Structure 1
């Protein structure tokens, strides 16, 4: 199984330094995690050693619905577009529930084969408050721009990121609007 040391050095450095909760998994098998950063560990309460080699479904729990699970499963198994976002109920190591908004993008090698999945997580429990939406979206936009640049340097390509960002802003705005009613 590939490991964090198999990532291009600039991408590995970026993931480690990012303030956005990031995780990288392979596209093979059960899509095990090969890298997470400190922000991911802070969000979930798990250490890197506890999650490396596992599929992210360990974050699911009693209130995670099949309607939330299925789109994630389909994306991980190659269905759908190259980037997408998924709201899902997740659980921290301490058992506390949070509303996670997961943004996922496939990273392709120079031959056009999807090799990795980059996922960023945002705790939308408190971000449903309007003041947090713009801040989280700005972080996501910068993270995707940075990762795209690093990926290009190493032959990875992320397709459709600009549209993903635009769609994400609209989705977050709709979620905020519907919650304020």
Structure 2
């Protein structure tokens, strides 16, 4: 059963200029929310990606070595937040080096309900050099998210420190009952 996100939080994720995707962990991690920035990055529309696992972005040159850490993360192995480089493909077949930031979202019973992911195209040297600027944008977005989340009884744990240290995009978001 999918846990509903507060409307204001969903709206915030949708309007963010950072490519964001939210997966439900109750099945094969199908996407339940993507924003315009995600669609712009991948070339897919929201209708084309919802209820699908993000594996559809992988292609012929995406190696098992790249896939394994994401698979392990989705299946609960390792820390609750991390960064994962992977070769993905846009709808038109163009490859891009995606740096995926993922965080498990837990409910009040400490059960993982969602995985929040942010995608960053680091294909060109210019884009790779802007990771710090991207982290700064994420830090500001997390600050806004934390404010919104508090209004709905949600809590974010340690995300600013992880971002500042470039260890992970987010730490843990605990979802509590309304």
Q: TM-score range by the shorter chain?
A: 0.7 to 0.9
Question: For structure 1, which segment, 156-165 or 24-33, has the greater mean C-alpha deviation from structure 2 after superposition?
Answer: 156-165
Structure number with higher helix proportion: 1
Q: Is the 8 A contact 2:20 2:119 kept in 1?
A: yes
Q: Does 1:38 align with 2:30?
A: no
Matches within 5 A, 1:1-150: 2=2, 6-126=4-124, 128-129=126-127, 131-150=129-148
> Residues 141 and 58 of structure 1: is their aligned pair in 2 closer, same or farther, counting only changes over 3 Å?
same
CA 1:130–1:29: 2 relative to 1, 3 Å: closer
3-state secondary structure, aligned to 2:145 = helix
Give the superposed CA RMSD. Answer: 2.1
C-alpha displacement of 1:127: 5.5
Q: Which runs of 4+ in 1 moved over 4 A?
A: 127-131
CA pair 16-86 structure 1, distance change in 2 beyond 3 A: same
Displacement after TM superposition at 1:161 (Å): 1.9
Aligned partners of 1:38 and 1:95: how far apart in 2? 19
Are 1:82 and 1:158, in contact at CA under 8 Å, matched by a contact in 2? Answer: no
1:80 Cα deviation from its structure 2 partner: 0.9
How many residue pairs get aligned? The number is 168
What is the deviation of 1:113? 1.6
SS at match of 1:61: coil
SS of 2:17's partner is coil
- Runs of 5+ unmatched residues, structure 2: 169-178
Relative to the length of structure 2, the TM-score reads 0.84
